[in-house]
Amino acid sequence: MRKPGLHTLRYRKNQGTSCLIMLLILVLLVLLGAYWLVSKPEIKLPQRKAEISIPALIKADTTAKQVIPVKADKPVDTSAAYRDRQARMLNQGDYLLIEKSKHLLHHFRDGKLLKSYPVALGKNPEDKAKEGDNATPEGHFEVNFIKDSNAWTHDFGDGKGAIKGAYGPYFIALYTGSKGSFSGKTWRGIGIHGTHIPASIGTNASEGCIRLHNEELVELVQGIEGKNRVQVDIIQ
């Protein structure tokens, strides 16, 4: 058998070297590709916002927020009983409105306010519930009669005995029957009169009657005397 020549040996050696180099290059390319796949940066595509329906949005909103109840200072009373305890605000004839919470007596004529007077009321600011509780009754009443009370006396039980002039110049007696009284009871001896203690006006100081300054009482009497069925409302 003929041995290969030197040229042939060199060719085979070069050919083997070339294959080895190609193999190394191929391995290197594979490694570089694998590295790139592992280490490539994450590309975030813009996300589309999920569509939320209006009912779902409302539900999510109401469940997410904590509902804190608001405590009112005083509950609003809208009952029929409350409405019945309000002033009638009559617009015909002479009409007297007494607001206990403001210590005021308003004189209206045909719906127009003529004058407001400061008054003193019962020591007990609540609606009258029983005899002797020193409260001014509340309700829809009317004037019963007017009497000259200059000579009248009253013993306040303070050890000073009967005091002349305790009622001032006039006593406007009120008819405070059960039909008009908010308590459903009839009260006697309730009226609008003057006083020998002018400093008590604007306070809760009487045994249940309504006190005015004597000179203002005279003015009020002159305005309503002789009038038919003068209506009187006493409210809180």
What is the per-residue pLDDT across 67-80, written as a single tens digit (0 to 9) for each? 444 445 555 444 55
d(CA 99, CA 120): 11
Of 120, 88, 121, 108, nearest to 224 by C-alpha is: 108
| Residue appearing with tokens 């569509």 | 51
Token pair 């008009």 in the structure block, residue: 180
**Is the CB of residue 29 less than 8 Å from the CB of residue 22?**
no
Q: Give the tens place of pLDDT for each residue, 95-142.
A: 999 999 999 999 999 999 999 999 999 999 999 999 999 999 999 999
Tokens 């009169």 belong to residue: 193
Encoded amino acid at 171, one letter: F
Lowest-confidence pick of 2-11, 34-43, 185-194, 227-236: 2-11
Tokens 């041995």 appear where? Answer: 3
Contacts with 99 (C-beta within 8 Å, 6 or more apart), sequence order: 106, 235, 236
* pLDDT tens-place string over residues 182-219: 999 999 999 999 999 999 999 999 999 999 999 999 99
Q: What is the pLDDT of residue 23?
A: 79
Angstrom distance (rounded) from CA 105 to CA 217: 11
Mean pLDDT of 149-172: 95
Contact in structure between 208 and 135 (CB atoms under 8 Å): yes
pTM: predicted TM-score of the whole model, two decimal places: 0.66
Written as six digits, the tokens of 39 are 């280490």
What percentage of the chain has pLDDT greater than the value 70? 71
Question: Can you tell me whether residue 44 is helix, strand or coil?
Answer: coil
| Spacing of C-alpha 105 from chain mean position | 26
Q: Tell me the C-alpha distance between 144 and 131, whole Å.
A: 20
Strand pairing category for 104-109 and 94-99: antiparallel
- What is the chain's mean pLDDT, rounded? 83
Q: Which CATH code, of 3.30.360.10, 3.30.420.40, 2.40.440.10, 3.40.50.620, is assigned to 80-235? A: 2.40.440.10
- 148: three-class secondary structure by DSSP: strand
Residue ranges of domains in the chain = 1-41, 80-235
pLDDT at residue 79 in the model: 55
17 or 228, higher pLDDT: 228
Q: Which of 177, 187, 194 is nearest to 140 (CA)?
A: 177
Element containing residue 217 per DSSP (H, E): helix 214-224
> Length of the chain, please?
236
